[in-house]
Structure 1
Amino acid sequence: MEKPNNLLGIHQLLTLQVLKSDKLTDLANFIAFTDQLLLKNELDKVGNTSHVFDNGSFTIAYCLKESHICIHTWPEILTLTMDIYLCNYSQDNSKKVRMLANDFISYFDAKIIKQIEVER
C-alpha cells in the first residue's frame, strides 16, 4: 500500500451545542459509544483517562496509536468541545476523522457552532 502524501494527518476541532444536557453528564455511555466507534473504525486505543466534575460534566482523553480524541462538556451551557486527530502514518485516516466527527455530532444530537479542520 502506498503511503499518503500527508503523513501527519487531519485534526478536527469542534464546538457543539446540544438541546438536552443528559449526554453531557453521562460519561459511561460516552465511553461505551466511543469504544464501539474505535472498533468499527479499526483504531487502536492505548488508554483513556477521565474526570467527572461536581456538576456531572466530564472531560476525557483517549490516547490512540494513531493519536487522540478529547472532549470537555459544559451541561450548564449545553455545549461541548472536542478534538479528533489521527495521523496517516500507517494508512490515510482522513475519512475516519470526518466520519468520527459526524458520528459524535449525531450521538450528541448536536448543532455545529464551530468546526475547524487542520491539515497537520
Structure 2
Amino acid sequence: MIQHSYSPGLHKLLTLEVGNTSILTQSFLFVAFSENLIQKYQLEKVGISIHDFENNSFTIAICLKESHICIHTWPEFNQLTLDVYLCNYLTDNSNKVREITNDYINYFNATILKDFEINR
C-alpha cells in the first residue's frame, strides 16, 4: 500500500508587543491593511466579524476560502495575538502564511513575544 503524505496547512500563532498602542485601537485600519494583504496574496474572503470593545480594543475574524486570519488586541498591555492559517488543498501555502505574518509584524512595528508554527 502506498501512503501519500499530506499536510493540511501551516497555522501560525503569534503574540506581539507594540510601542504605539493607538494602532491597537483602530480596527478599521487593520481591516483596510488586511484587505490589501488578501488581494496581494490572491486569497478569497468569505466573511468578516468585527467587535470593538469599550476600551477601543478589538477582535476580528476574517474567514477565507483558504481558512482564516484572526486578531485580538490588548492596548492596556501593548499586545496583540494573531492567528493565520491557510490550508494546502491545491498548493502548499506555508510560505504565504509566513509572509503574511511578517507583513503584519511590520505593519504593527512589533516585537515578537511568542511565535508558534503548527503543521496541521
Equivalent position of 2:99 in the other structure? 99
Deviations 1:47-102 (A, max 9, x none): 10010000000000000000001000000000000110000002111110000000
CA distance in 1: counterparts of 2:70 and 2:25, whole angstroms: 15
Q: Select the structure of larger CA radius of gyration.
A: 2
Length, aligned pairs only: 117
User: What pairs with 1:63-74 in structure 2 (closer than 5 Å)?
Assistant: 63-74=63-74
CA contact (8 A) 2:15 2:112 kept: yes
Equivalent position of 1:57 in the other structure? 57
Superposed displacement of residue 7, structure 1: 4.1
Unaligned runs of 5+ in 1: none
Over the aligned positions, Cα root-mean-square deviation in angstroms equals: 1.2
TM-score by length of 1: 0.94
Residue identity over aligned pairs, in percent, reads: 55
